[in-house]
Chain A
Amino acid sequence: MAVADAAARSNIADASLADEGDRRIDWAARHSPVLTTLARERLADGALQGRKVAVVVHLEAKTAYLALLLAEAGADVVAAGSNARSTQDAVCAALVRRGLEVHARHGVSPDEFTADLLAVADTGPELVIDDGAELTRRILEFRPDLAPRLQGVTEETTTGVARLRAFEAEGKLTFPAVAANNARCKHMFDNPYGTGQTSLTAILRLTNMSAAGKRFCVIGYGWVGQGLARRAAGYGGRVTVVEVDPVQALRALMDGHRVAALDEALADADYVITATGGTDSLPSAAFAHLKDKVVLANAGHQDREIDVAALGPGDEVRPGVTQHDLGGGKRAYLCVGGSLVNIAGGDGNPVEIMDLSFSVQALSVHHLAAGKVPPGLHAFPAELDAEIARTKLATLGVAL
């Protein structure tokens, strides 16, 4: 039995949660008309039949639906999470019950997380849908002998694309890769509208606090930062943007936000949200400028935008909110330990947004499966991008 085999190979927390996982996946499926349409029209041509596809993206309902459609198209899918804190055990259980191999458990240690990813690597994937290049970089580092099996990687995030570019510069990108993140149907929607909305709603729900009139300091004015700033203003907040790129800073100013140096921006901030995709966006050296009872959250890719270690141990004052002593009688409230606030503190991006992003991924992996893309990092084909947008507009009843 294939299902039993996959289940036996899987490493998940609790198989009994499958019903709840199914319910969540059904909801995602209902609100993913683009992916459903494209899967039916494009993936069913047999190109993915029998191909080993690894899906290593935040393992919740929407990712699960993508993985299931790939499996329906004939792929041999193995899934893992791209961040242990965002993995939903119920969704993992549902995937395993539906015959997929899964290596992911919520909240495991960094070592266990890496072990799960290496277990995925050891299945010898030909095609990888990656997030932050979490699997690809581990294959290159820990399983270099498996790298020649790779026939294509399609990358979900800005951070991951940067990592792939670095590998390419070092001559390590011996296989084709697609910067799915750079597709217009991804970065123009997922980062600003998806992450913007859900990071704000997650912070407000985690804290049960008000936004109207509050000062929001948004660090980084890339696509995510732009979305955060726009939505914070939409909630009645006053926004200060911190940037290192003068053009982006000017853009923030023209968009109607205050722009200031970090020290100055922190001084009156009620909420500080990092969105640079880099590291140390809120470094410990800046903590002295924070005001008492500031709320800190990260909407960027990694857990290391806020120097959480320097904040020291915290007391959980509400589920998902820890209080940290800043010294001098000042306190900071950190959301979900500095992890991605919309994913670790909520259900992640809205379903409709991931419908677009995962349509890019589905068509990207299908494109790579044809074996015609040469090694190196490539853009997502513009004609496929346009087809996704047209399909989305059609589902909304919008004509051009």
Chain B
Amino acid sequence: MSLIRDPSLAAEGERKIRWVAEWMPVLNRVRDRLRADGTVTGRRLAVILPVEPKTAYLAAVLAEAGAEVSVAFQGVMVHDDVAAGLAGRGVEVFAQAGSTREQELTFFEEVLARRPEVVIDDRADVIRLAHTTHPEVLESLIGASEETTSGVVQLRAMEADGTLKVPCIAANDARCKYLFDNRYGTGQSSVNAVLDRTNLLAADKDAVVVGYGWVGKGIAARLRGLAARVTVCEVEPFAALEAYHDGFDVAPLAEACRTADLVISGTGVRATIGADALEALPDGALLANAGAVDDEIDVEWLRGHAAETRLARDHVEEFVLHDGRSLYLVGAGVVVNLSAAEGHPAEIMDLTFSVQALSAAYLMQHGRELAAKVHTLPAEIDEDIARMKLDALGVRMDTLTAAQEAFLRAWEAFA
């Protein structure tokens, strides 16, 4: 029995889910395959992900493949209509927009009470509960597949101190995830969210991209594509050198901020944009966070130094500082493509969630043979997903000839 806000919203939620389903051809193939081979049929699965159309479709696909699926998440990223639509598809949903901390604990406990065999987890929330307050869950738990970088960091810490009791797959480390999701998905949707929400032009802007990991690379590329002049800030010398060779200006943050019209953070580090940077920014600068950590921009500093705050536009907060400058924060400092827009494009999540679905299936099949450590998705499964995507796109490629393969093996020819 689901615990959702309003079942009457199911039709609108269903419409949203159906739209993304059109753009997730690989996930559809994965469903057909799982349904045919019975890997997840009758198996208990928990999906802990933001309840929006694309994640909902992942849960729905696993249910259609025969699994008993339950879903829970914190209220900040729950669309009540999608929750209702998903419940209408035979998935048990425990999620409501704006839920309290107590309610959320109840939701997670509902999921744990179903004794999931495999968990698709976010920030290792359920895995940590199972290892602390709900050890009984571990008896039937085969393993977990973790979506986020920060969750993987926690799981590795658990592995290091010997607490981790089940194998976990770092879905984020699959190539079909990090090569596309973080760069093309976050890059496009974050830049788009900022421009849409502000109705401002990219082409006359000095933009600063903080962090040149996959997210920063994607954002810098898209801003350049829209003709902004981009400066990259880094702390890691290889990334800084890479940004330089990609043709970007590289400069220290506080210096780059002096002439910045727009600053986007994508580091995954708390207080990346702190007092020095915020003090250096000119009047009117825009700030947005595209990284996974909510506090990459020091919003507390902004509040502490503001004489006045007001909503300048939907999702754009103006901080009128005591020194007379106004700084504008897009998307409340929370990951901007989700807080001020609809998140990643559906086609990108097609790859990410195919990784998750096949990761869950792999754990169902082989989890009992795996050590209680953090694993990566087997390379052949990762590659299989890439091939399915290429096939769905109608893109063909080459294969090595027997002679070429032989050449590559014959290293001694050059010895």
Chain A contacts to B: CB under 8 angstroms: 23-24, 26-27, 30-31, 193-194, 197-198, 201-202, 204-205, 208-213, 230-231, 233-236, 293, 317-318, 321, 346-348, 350-353, 396
Inside 8 A of B227's CB, which chain A residues have their CB?
193, 230, 234
Known contacts A208-B346, A210-B345; is A235 also within 8 Å of B199 by CB? no
- Considering the chains assembled together, what is the distance between the CA atoms of A106 and B341 in angstroms? 24
Inside 8 A of B226's CB, which chain A residues have their CB?
197, 231, 234
- Considering the chains assembled together, what is the distance between the CA atoms of A266 and B189 in angstroms? 26
- Considering the chains assembled together, what is the distance between the CA atoms of A231 and B346 in angstroms? 21
Known contacts A234-B222, A317-B15; is A27 also within 8 Å of B313 by CB? yes
Chain B residues 174 to 197 lying within 8 A of chain A, measured CB to CB, are 184-185, 188-189, 192, 195-196
Q: Among the interface residues A23, A201, A204, A318, which one has the most CB atoms of the partner chain B within 10 A?
A: A201
Asked whether B222 lies within 8 Å of A352 as measured between CB atoms, the reply is: no
Inside 8 A of A350's CB, which chain B residues have their CB?
195, 199-201
Inside 8 A of B22's CB, which chain A residues have their CB?
293
Kindly identify which residue among B20, B188, B284 contacts A235, using a CB–CB cutoff of 8 Å: B188
Given contacts A201-B195, A231-B226, A234-B226, 14 further A-B contacts (CB under 8 A): A24-B313, A27-B313, A193-B227, A204-B192, A205-B342, A208-B342, A208-B346, A210-B185, A234-B224, A236-B222, A318-B15, A318-B16, A318-B19, A352-B204
Asked whether B195 lies within 8 Å of A197 as measured between CB atoms, the reply is: yes
- Considering the chains assembled together, what is the distance between the CA atoms of A194 and B19 in angstroms? 29
Inside 8 A of B185's CB, which chain A residues have their CB?
210
- Mask of B269-308 contacts with A, CB within 8 angstroms, 1/0: 0000000000000001000000000000000000000000
In the complex, number of A-B residue pairs with CB atoms less than 8 Å apart: 100
Measured between C-beta atoms, what is the minimum distance from A157 to chain B in Å?
Answer: 19
- Considering the chains assembled together, what is the distance between the CA atoms of A209 and B342 in angstroms? 10
Inside 8 A of B355's CB, which chain A residues have their CB?
none
Asked whether B196 lies within 8 Å of A346 as measured between CB atoms, the reply is: yes
Known contacts A233-B225, A317-B19; is A197 also within 8 Å of B202 by CB? yes
- Considering the chains assembled together, what is the distance between the CA atoms of A198 and B192 in angstroms? 9
- Considering the chains assembled together, what is the distance between the CA atoms of A216 and B189 in angstroms? 18
Q: Does B347 contact A (CB under 8 A)?
A: yes
Inside 8 A of A231's CB, which chain B residues have their CB?
225-226
Q: Does B370 contact A (CB under 8 A)?
A: no
Measured between C-beta atoms, what is the minimum distance from B259 to chain A in Å?
Answer: 8
Known contacts A30-B284, A231-B225, A352-B201; is A208 also within 8 Å of B196 by CB? no
The 7 closest A-B pairs by CB, nearest first: A234-B225, A210-B345, A350-B201, A347-B199, A210-B347, A352-B201, A212-B184
- Considering the chains assembled together, what is the distance between the CA atoms of A31 and B200 in angstroms? 8
Asked whether B188 lies within 8 Å of A197 as measured between CB atoms, the reply is: no
Inside 8 A of A213's CB, which chain B residues have their CB?
393
- Considering the chains assembled together, what is the distance between the CA atoms of A213 and B192 in angstroms? 17
Kindly identify which residue among B195, B202, B221, B346 contacts A210, using a CB–CB cutoff of 8 Å: B346
Asked whether B346 lies within 8 Å of A205 as measured between CB atoms, the reply is: no
Inside 8 A of A348's CB, which chain B residues have their CB?
199
Closest-by-CB residue of A relative to B201 is A350
Asked whether A235 lies within 8 Å of B222 as measured between CB atoms, the reply is: yes
Inside 8 A of B11's CB, which chain A residues have their CB?
none
- Mask of B307-351 contacts with A, CB within 8 angstroms, 1/0: 000011100100000000000000000000000011101111000
Chain B residues 202 to 238 lying within 8 A of chain A, measured CB to CB, are 202-204, 221-222, 224-227
- Considering the chains assembled together, what is the distance between the CA atoms of A204 and B192 in angstroms? 8
Q: Does B18 contact A (CB under 8 A)?
A: yes
Asked whether A201 lies within 8 Å of B284 as measured between CB atoms, the reply is: no
- Considering the chains assembled together, what is the distance between the CA atoms of A56 and B152 in angstroms? 57
Inside 8 A of B348's CB, which chain A residues have their CB?
210
Inside 8 A of A318's CB, which chain B residues have their CB?
15-16, 19
Asked whether A193 lies within 8 Å of B203 as measured between CB atoms, the reply is: yes
